[in-house]
Every structure is written in structure tokens, then in C-alpha cells.
């Protein structure tokens, strides 16, 4: 159709919400420095300051973009303090982000990684807002990178900050994990992986225990259960998920992040 090269893709993920001008300002700064960028919103509805939620959404969303994509995740309660700004390339994806754990999930999933600190001159720091460095420092650096000018970096004296993520564990014949994310539908995503489930039962049937409920067997799809029925399945990012068909498992069962979940063989 066209023989011009594709525009560079830049994704945005923030806790800015959509009622104010912050997202617009960020996009204005990006387009000032890279006018032909293709801007894509991952989400701006991360709960305020919820770095853990953003880290999960960043991992589950960014991975579907082609290598060479640029990502600007910004949940940044430490803006203007001594917290570093990271410059990372992970499996061919480029990130500039505050060093507060936002990259935890993508770092753990990456095979090839290089991480640096963004180097800012005193003049750049003085000219930037202490409350909106994403607009004045990160967007400019990322957009110039998207235009082909790599950001100035310094080696990291310490590794990137990582969140302490609750890990699912296997104890004998039991997989013990927790709910880690509630989605818009009220589906409850856990930290128990498809691979762990398959190892537990060698492909045999499983049961899932959550609170006083026991779910016998995994479904393939929501529509295999009757509307209103509780079910468990392996979801689209290969994690165990508890759902209620055409309804909210989070509301119906009162589940929140941190709720314990167990998986056992159905024998």
C-alpha cells in the first residue's frame, strides 16, 4: 500500500486519568519531538500511585506490540526527588520509566535486557517541572529516541528497583497462589501459571479452591459455563483466572488482590 517506513510506535501507560490535561500535555511533548509518532494508549486509568497495578498492565499489554516499540509508563509518586529515570531495552522493546518498580514484570519476562539511568544535565533538570518530569524529561528523551537519537545514559550503580511480587508456590500436591489483579469484568487473575498447573497434574483434571468454594475442572472459555456459573480457566496471558460467566466474580465472591487460591489435582 505504501512504501514509506512505518512510523515509530509509542505506547503510554499512566495513572493520570482522562479528565485533566496531563495526558494531552504528554502527547504534545512527544509529538513536539517526534511529529510522526504513532501514539497508543495502554491505559490512563491505573489507580493513582498504584505502581503494582501498572507493572502488571504494562507486562500484559506491551508484549503484544512488535519489537522496536517505545513505551512510556508513568506512575511516578517520587517525581522530582532523587529517584532515577530508567532507560531499558528488553527483548527489543524500548522503555523510559521512573525507577520505582514499574518495570518489574517486564524485566522478569525478558530474555535480553539492557538497563541504564537517563542522564540529565543540570540545565535540563532546572528547566523541567519538578512535578511533571514525564512531560519535560522522559517524553522528550523517548520521542527523540523514536526519531533515532538514543538518550544519554549512565550505567546503573544499583540494579533497577523491583517490586516484591507474591509468588505462587508448590507444596507437595498443592499449588498455593493469590489473586493479583481484578479486571473490568470482575475476573480475578491469579499468579498461578499455566505451566505450574500442567506440571501439577501432568495434564490431568484439577480443582481450584478459593474461600469456601471449590471449582472442579478448568474450562477452556467463559461461554462453556452457564451465565452466573463460577468457573476457572487459563486466561489470555497464561495465568489461572477465576470468573463468573457474564457476571463479576470479584463482586459475587468478594475477592480482592491478595485473596488466597489453591489448585489441587482432581484425582
Residues of span 108-127 touching its own copies by CB under 8 A: none
Which residue of 39, 87, 179, 208 would you call a contact of its own copies, by CB under 8 A? 39
229 near its own copies, rule: CB under 8 A:
no
Contact 92, 73 (CB under 8 A): no
Site residue total, its own copies (CB under 8 A): 81
129 binds its own copies (CB under 8 A): yes
Q: Quick one: 173 or 236, whose CB is closer to its own copies?
A: 236
Taking CB under 8 A as the criterion, the residue among 108, 115, 135, 158 binding its own copies is: 135
Taking the complex as a whole, how short is the minimal distance between the CB of residue 231 and its own copies, in angstroms?
11
Neighbouring residues of 118: CB distance < 8 A, sequence distance ≥ 6? 84, 85, 86, 87, 96, 137, 138, 141, 151, 152, 153
Closest CA relative to residue 257, chosen from 161, 179, 150: 179
In this structure, the dihedral spanned by the alpha carbons of residues 91, 148, 143 and 64, taken in order and rounded to 10 degrees, is -30
Of 62 and 115, nearer to its own copies (C-beta) is 62
Region 139-158 residues binding its own copies, contact defined as CB under 8 A: 147-148
Strand partners, 190: 179
Q: Which of residues 166-195 bind its own copies (CB under 8 A)?
A: 181, 183-185
Mapping DSSP onto H, E and C, the string for 106-123 reads HHHHCCCEEEEEECCCHH
Stretch that binds its own copies, among 18-26, 109-117, 163-171, 206-214 (CB under 8 A): 18-26
Short-list 174, 185, 195, 175, CA closest to 239? 195
Candidates 31-39, 108-116, 160-168, 197-205 — which segment interacts with its own copies by CB under 8 A?
31-39
d(C-alpha 152, C-alpha 96), whole Å: 12
Site for its own copies in 65-104 (CB under 8 A): 65-66, 69, 77-81, 83
For residue 180, give the C-alpha cell.
Answer: 493479583
Tell me the C-alpha distance between 151 and 22, whole Å. Answer: 23
Answer yes or no whether residue 62 interacts with its own copies by CB under 8 A.
Answer: yes
Residues 193-222 that bind its own copies (CB under 8 A): 220-222
Amino acid at each position: 500500500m505504501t512504501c514509506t517506513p512505518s512510523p515509530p510506535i509509542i505506547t503510554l501507560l499512566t495513572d493520570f486519568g482522562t479528565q485533566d490535561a496531563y495526558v494531552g500535555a504528554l502527547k504534545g511533548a512527544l509529538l513536539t519531538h517526534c511529529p510522526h509518532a504513532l501514539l497508543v494508549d495502554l491505559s490512563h486509568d491505573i489507580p493513582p500511585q498504584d505502581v503494582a497495578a501498572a507493572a502488571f498492565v504494562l507486562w500484559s499489554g506491551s508484549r503484544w506490540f512488535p519489537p522496536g516499540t517505545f513505551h512510556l509508563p508513568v506512575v511516578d509518586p517520587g517525581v522530582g526527588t532523587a529517584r532515577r529515570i530508567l532507560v531499558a531495552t528488553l527483548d527489543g522493546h524500548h522503555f523510559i520509566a521512573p525507577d520505582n518498580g514499574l518495570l518489574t514484570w517486564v524485566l522478569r519476562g525478558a530474555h535480553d535486557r539492557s538497563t541504564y539511568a537517563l542522564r540529565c544535565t543540570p540545565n535540563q533538570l532546572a528547566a523541567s517541572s519538578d512535578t511533571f518530569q514525564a512531560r519535560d524529561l522522559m517524553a522528550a528523551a523517548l520521542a527523540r529516541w523514536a526519531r533515532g537519537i538514543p538518550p544519554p545514559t549512565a550505567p546503573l550503580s544499583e540494579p533497577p528497583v523491583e517490586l516484591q511480587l507474591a509468588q505462587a508456590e508448590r507444596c507437595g500436591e498443592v499449588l498455593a497462589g493469590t489473586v493479583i489483579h481484578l479486571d473490568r469484568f470482575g475476573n480475578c487473575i491469579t499468579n498461578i501459571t499455566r505451566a505450574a498447573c500442567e506440571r501439577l497434574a501432568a495434564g490431568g483434571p484439577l480443582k481450584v479452591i478459593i474461600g469456601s468454594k471449590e471449582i472442579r475442572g478448568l474450562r477452556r472459555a467463559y461461554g462453556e459455563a452457564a451465565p452466573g456459573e463460577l468457573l476457572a480457566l487459563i486466561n489470555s496471558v497464561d495465568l489461572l483466572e477465576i470468573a463468573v460467566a457474564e457476571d463479576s466474580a470479584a463482586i459475587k465472591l468478594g475477592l480482592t488482590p491478595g485473596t488466597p487460591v489453591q489448585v489441587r489435582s482432581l484425582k
